[in-house]
Structure 1
Amino acid sequence: MSIVDVAAAAGVSRQTVSNVLNGHDSYYSEATFERVTAAMRSLGYQPSRAAQTMRSRRTMQIGYHIFGEQLETMQGFTLHFLQALVKAAAEVDNQVLVFTHHRDDPLGVFKDLVARRTVDAVVLSESRVDDERARFLADSGLPFACFGRLAPDLPQQWVDVDNVAGVQPIVDLLVAEGHERLAYLGLGGDEYWKVERLEGFTAGLARHGLRVPKASVYRGTDAGIRGRARRLLTGKNPPSAIVTGSDSVGAVVVNVAHSLGLKVGSDVAVTGFDGGSLGLVTEPTLTCARIPVERISRELVARCLRQVEGGPNDDVGLLVPTEVVRGGSA
């Protein structure tokens, strides 16, 4: 039983039921209140502890859900983002509660958060457009904001970067430096940002009238990327620059180039996408499209708090631009 069932029985929207549960009386009439409460009684619906105390008690904590694989060594960007999120929350006197989930029950921990009223709101990242976590939180009435785009039928509480536009200036930079033989390497998967970064590379080439062989474009596993980078760099006509879909892939390519005795930045240029700490520990440091995690974190926290303080709203999703940061790799 959820507020979706109550909304259907009362003939109102899910948002209206959430407003009634949270006491946001400026958003509904007395007649609507009676319809919603009557529907709850007829269905035997028991409001969650979160809904009962939303107005009267604040935890001053914002939850951040993290997948176990995000803590792996090659997921340095996640830690970079978490650091920015903690700082953004602290600026408005809130703390960040980091949590993960049991492998066989990804939503169980969210159900517990709602029932126990552990946090005031939740920030999500590594999301899919139709994200089951966002859908559950929306149905439960717990405020949330997402680093990544969401389906149109979900609350548009998301912030993201323009991945296509982010890669194109990297291509422009390389072409301006005289590179014409380019390649692209990225991690496999159907996540939209991975697809869009390759689209940005292709669009960047097109506006300079450049084309690359099919073998010069690859998305796959870490092992596959290492193998393809080695074959490209030892081939008859190797690329003079390799654009990658993330700093983690860029670091792999830098290591492969070093193992072949190549000097990154002169023998071959390498670029990344993220701008986290990983790109700063390569030698040389990575030239990359930097994601402005500080701005994104502040916006996510602000969106969470606007919902906590004022209830559901009509905020629309926000795309923020990346910026090119020059390192020694290109």
Structure 2
Amino acid sequence: MPETRTPARTPRRSGRVSIVDVAAAAGVSRQTVSNVLNGRKEYYSEDTHSRVIAAMDSLGYQPNRAAQSLRSQRSMQIGWHIFGEQLQAMRGFTLQFLQALVKATSDVDHHLVVFTHHDDDALQVFKDLVARRTVDAVILSESGVDDERARFLAEHGLPFASFGRLAPDLPQHWVDIDNAAGMHPLVDHLVSAGHRQFAYIGAEGGEFWKAERLEGFRTALAEHGLRVPANAVLHGDDAAVRAHTRRLLARRNRPTAIVAGNDAIAAVVVNVVHSVGLRAGRDVAVTGFDGGAIGLFTEPTLTSVRIPVERIARELVDRCLRQVRDGAVDGPGLLVPTEIVRGGSA
């Protein structure tokens, strides 16, 4: 049943704030507050969710986590597995996604447990999770399509959700963006600004989203009758990116626009542009792909494709909790749209 809205009452202020006080402040029923706390999204609207969370914040409501865990036989914790390279300083997107996951889990009265693995055996830590049941569900990121972690969790019945598409024979508990489609409005923007000579620089690695972004870039250029020369495309590490950018800018017919596969690389490109006496956004356009905090720290700020991490985090948490609550859940994965964030770099 959908939530029922009752007239807001002034909650009592003495003693510990209770779920009844929150319900009164939000103008909803006690059951609706419980639904929000336990992530039962089919029973409340986004507006109701916002009002309940606002009431909790204003009253300083602290749910009794121990009692909830005892009643439900759940840990009230969701794990997020990361690879060691995700913690590198240049991986600014990791922090952005972490912040979104912390908020999404907190909004449904859960804790986020971040963990990694040692050596090359990523599955050992998952074997421990299954044996100990220290978390109710696991969120995966940096997923390969045929992800061994997802396959292991599915075989052992531990709920999970993946930021990244999964193979058709795996449960489709994933949320992702269309990387190729995200490149099209960015290229349209650059072409409409008069750019005709392009370069592309991406991070090293064979992950599918890196290939998709380059393919989307090439396809979008082709729709305008343009192409990027093979010697103007690079996937590499930080040193290779810097050296390649310098070579590009030293050419007689240098590119007027450099499209980067993520914001961290775009920030490196902006620095190199400035180091050779040029200015990003004036002498050469530079764009990224993430739309996070890194782009705000460059001068000028980055034009980028924004990944909606807040929505992705909420959807991942919701998919996890639906499995915890209802068992195996069938259904397709979810592609969420991106958008362009316009800064001064292009």
Q: TM-score, normalised by structure 1?
A: 0.82
Specify whether residues 270 and 184 from structure 1 end up closer, same or farther in structure 2 by C-alpha distance, changes over 3 A only: same
1:89 and 2:114 matched: no
Among residues 225, 229, 247, which one is paired with 1:209 in the alignment?
225
Question: What secondary structure does 1:58 align onto?
Answer: coil
Question: In structure 1, what is the equivalent of residue 137 of structure 2?
Answer: 121
Question: In structure 2, what is the equivalent of residue 58 of structure 1?
Answer: 74
State how many pairs are aligned.
Answer: 278
* Displacement of 1:105: 2.2
Counterpart CA distance in 2 for 1:263 and 1:179 is 16
Question: What secondary structure does 2:298 align onto?
Answer: coil
Per-residue CA deviations over 1:154-182 (Å, capped at 9, x if unaligned) read: 10000000000001111100011111111
Among residues 266, 287, 290, which one is paired with 2:282 in the alignment?
266
Q: Which amino acid aligns with 1:116?
A: R
1:227 and 2:239 matched: no
Q: Which amino acid aligns with 1:144?
A: F
Question: What secondary structure does 1:229 align onto?
Answer: helix
Q: Which runs of 5+ in 2 are unaligned?
A: 1-68
After the TM superposition, which parts of structure 1 deviate over 4 Å for at least 4 consecutive aligned residues? 53-56
Q: Which amino acid aligns with 2:213?
A: R
Specify whether residues 316 and 54 from structure 1 end up closer, same or farther in structure 2 by C-alpha distance, changes over 3 A only: farther
Matches within 5 A, 1:131-280: 131-280=147-296
Q: Which amino acid aligns with 1:308?
A: V
Question: In structure 1, what is the equivalent of residue 311 of structure 2?
Answer: 295
Per-residue CA deviations over 1:198-223 (Å, capped at 9, x if unaligned) read: 00110111111112322112222222
Specify whether residues 184 and 114 from structure 1 end up closer, same or farther in structure 2 by C-alpha distance, changes over 3 A only: same
Q: Which amino acid aligns with 1:65?
A: H
CA RMSD of aligned residues (A): 1.4
1:318 and 2:334 matched: yes
Per-residue CA deviations over 1:185-241 (Å, capped at 9, x if unaligned) read: 111222110000000110111111112322112222222221111111111100111
Per-residue CA deviations over 1:122-175 (Å, capped at 9, x if unaligned) read: 000001011111111011100000000111111000000000000111110001
Question: What secondary structure does 1:280 align onto?
Answer: helix
Per-residue CA deviations over 1:289-312 (Å, capped at 9, x if unaligned) read: 000000100000000000000000
Counterpart CA distance in 2 for 1:87 and 1:187 is 28
Specify whether residues 213 and 298 from structure 1 end up closer, same or farther in structure 2 by C-alpha distance, changes over 3 A only: same
Q: Which runs of 5+ in 1 are unaligned?
A: 1-52
Native 8 Å contact 2:199 2:257 kept in 1: yes
Question: What secondary structure does 2:122 align onto?
Answer: coil
Native 8 Å contact 2:218 2:228 kept in 1: no
Q: Which amino acid aligns with 1:68?
A: G
Question: In structure 1, what is the equivalent of residue 297 of structure 2?
Answer: 281
Q: TM-score, normalised by structure 2?
A: 0.78
Pick 1 or 2: higher relative contact order, CA cutoff 8 A, min separation 6.
Answer: 1
Counterpart CA distance in 1 for 2:130 and 2:70 is 11
Question: What secondary structure does 2:300 align onto?
Answer: coil
- Range that drifts further, 104-113 or 159-168: 104-113
Identity of matched residues, %:
69
